[in-house]
Chain A
Amino acid sequence: MKVMAQMGMVMNLDKCIGCHTCSVTCKQAWTNRGGVEYVWFNNVETRPGQGYPRRYQDQDQWRGGWVRTKRGRLRLRAGGRFRKLLSIFANPVLPNIKDYYEPWTYDYETLTNAPLGDDFPVAQPKSLLSGKPMSVEWSANWDDDLGGAPEHGESDPIVERIRRESEDKIRFEYERAFMFYLPRICEHCLNPSCVASCPSGAMYKRVEDGIVLVDQDQCRGWRMCVTGCPYKKVYFNHRTGKAEKCTLCYPRVEVGLPTVCSETCVGRLRYLGLFLYDADRVTAAASVADEKELYQAQLDLLLDPDDPEVIAAARRDGIAEDWLDAARRSPVYKLAKVYKVALPLHPEFRTMPMVWYVPPLSPVVDRLVETGHDGEDVGNLFGAIDALRIPIEYLAELFTAGDPEPVRTVLQKLAAMRSYMRDVTLGRPANDAVAEAAGMTGAEILEMYRLLAIAKYEERYVIPTAYEGQAHELEEIGCSLDVDGGPGMGGSGPFGEASGRPAPVSVETFHALRQRQTSDDLVDPGERGATVNLLNWDGKGRPAGLFPPSRTDHPAPIGTTEPETRP
């Protein structure tokens, strides 16, 4: 057993309202640059729908992820090492920019330069790739909220697959339509096929927290990773010629802050925390013969952080105590492994994805209420889950390789929680039979309810900061010349203003954000008179270094410091 830690995420789809705040803040933070205009590290897609890039889930077309060979070994679906090198001069299955969308801007200048006339001037869309006028025909969220579903909905690969089995099961008529939102980031897989596809070895999984990153200095732009990732979450920066991907906001996570998408999520539906897993068994778990057993195999990889044997092995493998503590408090471990209400996205890709989803129950409840039933009665709910087979089959294709059973169990647990908690909230005696019907106890339901419904910031994001052994490096070590009146006074280094080593951006950001979050007043005397990153400052609080150090301790009498030397 080799214990490794993995930073994971759980998203509760019941709460997602599809507001795209996560996408927008992520884009502002990471991809508001040339060359990645079309890139959304975080995107929210409406299901059913084609997704982004279009039909990315159809691996017959895009050839991402792993396949199991007849001899039971794993092989990249796009071909092994030799095949990769032979096709390196022109990747046979690279998505075209049109499969994402052609980025554009508007010719705003005509709005101000147009001559006077009867017509209003119009800002024409212009392609950011060719600079030519273009007609906007597709974008990252063109089919948002089932927009165009009667026409495009059939192109959803999952709809296609379910249709093959039964012509009648999925309809896009208004009366029979259903939808939910699926926010997606990089899955930071345990068995990442993008990493395996990179010929240069520029992509790697971080040993400490399992975050999958691209070494920008080592990437040579062979673009095999784009093909290798079945979720199409590695993107090609067409300006720099390098691959880029979601970083799980590692500069934030390293100092204990949640990712930007989690921090800004309006519905507070994201959870961040640690998984401990057995790295020795990953390949074996990913090679399970039956696709439908992949979910269970993935669950079995996750180790119980309270098990003394696991703790001993983790200590042996160099996992710090505060990380073990964080693993014990991990909300994602509880949702995925203890309550078993979070499911991985497309386990059949065999990459062991580490972003998990609590499937949505709401359409079931809404449907019951519409038909005049009591939407929160457990009997009705359980019955409805089975009767409304459309969502279950669809969800099963997304989360359990088509096996409806785990999805049904999860939905029953969520339904039981609603029913149980209604009794509690209305002051009626709690009905433990409801809990038992879903295979839980009343106490468990209460705990799960607490985590899903009212967990606070610190409970939703349990993120251990940088390692104990490196903790001292996080502290800013004062300059020895930084004494009153010394040459280092005011944050200058030994060779004048801004010389010496700058404070790491993550440290600076951490201090600025902490100050902003904790300060009530607008003025807070700072100590260091260095520079401050105004981009991190929103006017609230006073980050250290915004103004020079206060001189109120020894006020200089006006007029005495500079004697007049007029001739």
Chain B
Amino acid sequence: MEEVEKLRDTFRRGTTRSAKWRKGQLTSLLKLLTQNEIEICKALQQDLGKHHIEAYRDEVGLLVKSIKHALKNLNQWMAPVKAGVPLVAFPTSAALVPEPLGNVLIFSSWNYPFGLSLEPLVGALAAGNTAVVKPSETSPASSSLLAKLIPMYLDNKAIIVVEGGVVVCEQLLQRKWDLIFFTGNPKIGRLVMTAAAKHLTPVVLELGGKSPAVVDTLSSYRDRKVASARMVSAKWGSCNGQACAAVDYVLIDEKFASTWIVTLKSTLKTFYGDDPKQSNAISRIVNKHHYLRLKSLLADPRVSNSVVHGGGVDDDNMYIEPTILLDPPLDSEIMTEEIFGPLLPIITLKRIEESIEFINSRPKPLCLYVFTSRSALADKIVVETSSGSVTVNDATVQYAVDSLPFGGVGQSGFGRYHGKFSFDTFSHTKPILCRGFMFEVYSRYPPWNGSKLNFIKSVYAFNYWKLVLHLLGFGSSATT
């Protein structure tokens, strides 16, 4: 923990402020990823059974893309932005200067142990901060690989990895930070924010929630195939549903439900074969605790009766089949808690427009997905619901778009990152106003009188005519 104190000294010395240092670190991080791709994918295989391609697509590849984007745009992000000043303040110039916040703490999560550690770190480094990364102990191979690689590639005086469990987290949280960036669940999110409040530290909370997918009736077979591939990929293909952006449940017109289930089943078969247990393209459930949690969701007989596909469990291998459920009761745990696993409930509605009320009567989700060929329905959902993001006709890919902010609202968190938004989140935008000693207006100063009041009123109303009159010595009576 003394190391953490040293970071503060590094920041005070100003090392991390220069564009050169920031670019150097980002370039090294890029090297870390490209030179250790195999080892990283191995760790992900070990922790989560993630296929090499999935690991590349969702972690290494995305990070490489983000770092390149940051390197390309850093000069522009760092440049002060001129701000407009009203004529009444003449002669004055104003600018917004981004500056690093200081020493930041990044709490990462086990499901994307590299992505969710390093994507925030890219922002922290681009903005010129020193940082402590605390990977999740639930993915131990990834955590120890990060702890091994980061000191080899990055500036040890500015970036360190602290490994550990609850005790270490508590120790870290007792300290004063300039920003805490947390990815995880709301329960821990509350603890993090409460600890941050003691030091008035700003926090970013990247939480999850039940992200719904609204599926409109798709009349074209081809559209159904594409939509279904995208949904299956966003559920079982994203760490086997253990992703904050994964589809949690489906809302669908009751008349279209059976067609949709048939389509999903056929996609599952194409992707994972007749026995998905044999497939190497599906991640496993992270640990026993989560396996038992998911199994207990199915234990409720009202829920198990609603299974229309899969449902098989294997205690020895902590394996749960890709499972589709049709209309499990809305008060069952599977519909009140975030699932974070390979179970997909499908909830039928009389009319697909009822999905809006359904979504609005629950906590705001991190992501909302709409599959439809009617843009009017998509527009209506965008306007009438609230969520971290809305993606139309695809799922989880919004995470890859640098120009879009990623983050939640309400129960799904607050604060946003990715691309320029990461830079902004890890920066303080400092306004600077510069004036000269010329052009003194004495009406700003006491002793106060009626004419000075009129002057001030005209200034704030930008009433230039009255200002000129005033400066010429005609203090007209105040009417505005």
Pair from one complex:
no
